[in-house]
Amino acid sequence: MEKTWNNKAWFMVLPVLVLVAFSAIIPLMTVVNYSVQDTFGNNQFFWVGLEWFEDLLHSSRFWEALARNLVFSAIILAIQVPLGIFIALNMPKKGWAVPVCLVLMALPLLIPWNVVGTIWQVFGRVDIGLLGHTLDAMGIDYNYVQNPIAAWITVIIMDVWHWTSLVVLLCYAGLVSIPDAYYQAAKIDGASRWSVFRYIQLPKMHRVLLIAVLLRFMDSFMIYTEPFVVTGGGPGNETTFLSIDLVKMAIGQFDVGPAAAMSLVYFLIVLLLSWVFYTVMTNYGQERTR
C-alpha cells in the first residue's frame, strides 16, 4: 500500500516562511551586497570584491574586539552555569515558596536591557551610586570609567545579575521533571548527595543545560546595550566588544562596506561557535546515556 502525503501543512507554514524572508533573508542579502561594494554618497556604489573582508582579517582592531568577546563569554558561562545550577538545586520544590522564588527569579529578566545598563551606571558611580560610594568609603579604588579592571568587573556582575535567572529557571524546570522514583532508588542504595547530583540530576538536566549554554553564549557574545550604556566601550577600548565596534563603524563612521563585511564575519563566528557547543554537548549527552 502506497503512503500518501498530506501537503496541506505547507499552507500553514507558508506565512511564516514569507515573514522570515522579509525579516531575515532580504536584510541579509542587503548586507551581503554592501559588503562587496563601496560608496561615496549620492547612492553611488562601486564594486570592490573581497577587499573589505581582507582588510578586516588583517585588522588588529577586529581581533582585539573578538578576543574581548571570547573572554567575556567564557567568564559569563563559567560563572552563570554553575551558579544557576546551584541556585536551582536549593530552590524549594513544593509549597508556597515555589511561586515566590520563581517570580523573584523572573524579575531581572523582565527589565529592558537599556534600563539594566542605566541602573548599574548609576549604581556604580562614586559620587551618587550606592556601590561606588560604599567601595570608595572603604578605601577601595573603584572607578569603572577610568579603571579597566573595574569596568570589566562591573559589566560581568551586571550580566550575571541580569541573566543568571534564565539558567536558574531552565535548570529548575529540568529538576522538577525528574520522577521521584529515581530519588527513592538512590535513597535505598544509600547514595550521597553528590552521587545523586552526578548520576541522576545532572544527566536529566542535560537538555535544558544545552539550551541554557547556547542561549547564554549567543547573548553574551552579542552583548551591546548594557556595556554601551555603562562604559561606552571604555575606558579606551577595554570593553569595546564586536557589537559596539560594529555600531561605531556603521553609524559613527558611516563605513557601510567594512561594517557589512564585519557583520557577516560576526554572524558566521556566532553560528560556528554555537554549532560547536551544540555538537560537543550533544555527543557528551549521548555517551552518558549509553
Quote the cell numbers at residue 159.
550580566
- 286 or 206: which carries more pLDDT confidence? 206
pTM surpassing 0.85?
yes
Half-sphere exposure of 8 (CA within 13 A, CB side): 2
Does 1 score more than 60 pLDDT? no
- Per-residue pLDDT band for 288 (boundaries 50, 70, 90) equals low
Q: What is the pLDDT of residues 76-135, one digit of tens each?
A: 999 999 999 999 999 998 888 889 999 999 999 999 989 999 999 999 888 888 888 888
- 79 or 251: which carries more pLDDT confidence? 79
- Residues of the chain with pLDDT > 70, as a percent, come to 95
Full set of structural domains in the chain with CATH: 60-289 (1.10.3720.10)
